[in-house]
A and B are shown apart, each in its own frame.
Chain A
Amino acid sequence: MNVLKKLKYALMTNLIGKPYLRIERKKSEKKIAKLFNPDSPLNPPLKITAYTKEFVSSHYFKGRYIEGVKPVAWVTSGAPIEILKALGFFLIYPENHAALCGARKVQMDLIKTAEKEGLSNNVCSYVRTDIGSLLSGRTPAGKLPKPDLLLACSNICQTVLHWYRMLEKHLNIPLVIIDTPFVYNEIEPHQVEYVKKQLLHSLLPVAEKIAKKSLKEKELKKVIKFSKDATELWLEILNLCKEKPSPLTVFDQFVFMAPIVEMRGDRETVDYYNEMYKEVKSKVNTRKGALKRERRRLLWDNLPIWFKMRELAVKMAERGISIPISTYTYAWGELAPLMDLKKDEFEVIAKVYLSPILNRGTGHKLNTMVKMVKEFKLDGVILHSDRSCKPYSMGQMDQRNRLIEEFKIPAMLLEADQNDENAYSEEQIAIRIESFFEMLGVSYG
């Protein structure tokens, strides 16, 4: 049976999938060219933009035929995936999938399905989107492969614990939870030891059993190396946005960050970011910005509003407002220096996954924002108060006040949601944004 599945997988992904996705890329290239006409306030995006869609779609395309070929795991965005990758797992990230649904604007139907089945509208909209997709079988990715293993890590929020327990019950498969204690100041040795123990004694045996093989150190080192290389490149790309005018806006970054989240640990991802780096660097060398005219530069805090990306990007660009960076996109790069290849792999993994911004105090985020404002030469901060992402939004009120009062940095709270359109009031948000721009001295007719 497995031989047949492997044959089908090879046939579909190579002979049919690749040419199909290439045609799709050509289509998106045309679509992009249309969007960025001479009247657009934005310069044409990177050439790699159309390929990004092909690259990410190829992952989901493989997923359609992967069952029986490779073991499949569904994981949280901050899960220690290097161990699973080294064991040959194919990974699906429900959070990214939910974001994809939001960006394609098909999420509201899925959210309704989940709510109809009893999920409260106070639950994170990623959870509602994904549960809606699981129950209805509808997804813009075609089909998501059924998992053999679930892996959740508490470093991004507590919701994932409930979410994955729900999946465990529904799918009747093993769930491994990696508990990463909250880091108040510095990471303590006992915290590293605690996480390392879980990796070795909770995750590894279950994963090896499902993969039907033992973990090889060489493989693990290779995966960590690819993770590190891609993460470092991402960080370098983002740091190029310190230049004036910024070669990318945060709205580009939200799209370009997909592979660093869901395809890290792969050689192709390193190649992808290498290409991107070259293109961004050449934009910097020729002083070509993402916007035709950059009048003010802002920081974005929190997740994007996936279903309003294009509208917001254009609205900001029309006024000459550039957002060269966000705490969210930067979070996927700033862990690179921690990936020390000379040290014990499990210790490195434990440290890396203890460190995400959401597993640290609100003061840490404030300091990160102040530092970014200085380094990226920014004029203000937009804090997206995301109804769904409680840990990211917690503390924003104080962070905003301290940015204004202590650091004299203009800041605005924007109440919305990453995926739920019901939490987005069009006119009210427009007034807030416009008032903030006027406050920054950018008015318009």
Chain B
Amino acid sequence: MVKAMGIDVGSTTVKVVVIDKNKKILFKHIENTKPRIKEQVKEVIGKVKERFKGEDIPIISTGYGRKLVEEAKKSMTEITCHAKGIYYALNTTGTLIDIGGQDSKVIVVEKYGRVLDFTMNDKCSAGTGRFLENTAARMDIPVEKIGEIALKSEKEVKISSTCTVFAESEIISLLAYGEEIGSILKGLHRGLITRIVGMINSVAFTPPLMLSGGVAKNRAIKEMLEEETGYSIKMPEHPQLIGAYGAAIISLEQNI
């Protein structure tokens, strides 16, 4: 049976997806990125191959570590893979917001998952997952919970610092002044959202808005983005896997 594999080696996590010829996900796997990426990838792919013993599954790699995947036939950038993945996951064209650990991107997706336009926030970490991760750690709250806490808060403090590192010191002083954790977290989310909205405004925007990347699991991000843009946001079932899923589809398309 025809199968294809996509592997997305991101700055925070490694994602693997295997699909069948109908683009249905047969296998998925996520684990944290380790410092020795090459060895880690080899091991992960070895396990997948073990599972699909005897089958020759073509691989396409993507993500920051895409060139370290020796088993891959080819590597493609995250932009191309995310566009492809979201188009087939949601079956629509539109504008995809992908908030990853190391950067965030806004991609305008055309028919068949082709890229019409894109922009990236890759100079400053304040528009990335790392921004939230850092501050959650500073407050000693699991990162999965910060969205809920932020949404529960009525009050919102403005975080004026636009840099992750300096925002951390700002948070420390806000805490010292007795500000509620919830209102600080809401302010932090607002900071990130404002940056994303700026990026949406700088591309050839086409509705609907779609969301992917690990940060999409944070409910506050989705709700606040909807509030800021006035558009409802479509979410795929596995937002974190969209890059790997797209890579798998490209691999499938190129092998048929």
| Chain A residues at the B interface, C-beta cutoff of 8 Å | 397, 401, 404-405, 410, 413, 415, 425, 427-428, 431-432, 434-435, 438-439, 443-445
Contacts and interface: CB of A to CB of B under 8 A. Distances in A.
A435 B79 contact: yes
A410 B79 CA distance: 15
A435 B202 contact: no
B80 A443 contact: yes
A439 B115 contact: yes
B101 to A, nearest CB: 14
Contacts of B64: 427
Given A425-B122, A425-B123, A431-B122, A401 B202 contact: yes
Interface of B: 64, 73-80, 103, 114-120, 122-123, 202-204
Contact of B77 (A405, A415, A434, A445): A434
A443 B76 contact: yes
Contact of A401 (B77, B123, B204): B204
A438 B123 contact: no
B77 A397 contact: no
A428 B74 CA distance: 19
The 4 closest A-B pairs by CB, nearest first: A435-B79, A428-B122, A438-B80, A435-B77
A384 to B, nearest CB: 15
B123 A435 contact: no
Nearest to A445: B74
Nearest to A435: B79
B31 to A, nearest CB: 22
A404 B117 CA distance: 8
A380 to B, nearest CB: 11
Contacts of A434: 77
B76 A438 contact: yes
Contact of A435 (B73, B116, B118, B204): B118
A33 B25 CA distance: 52
B7 to A, nearest CB: 15
Given A425-B122, A427-B64, A445-B74, A397 B202 contact: yes
A401 B114 CA distance: 18
Nearest to A415: B123
Contact of A439 (B74, B118, B122, B204): B118
A428 B123 contact: yes
Contacts of B76: 438, 443
A404 B204 contact: yes
B246 to A, nearest CB: 11
Nearest to B119: A413
B155 to A, nearest CB: 35
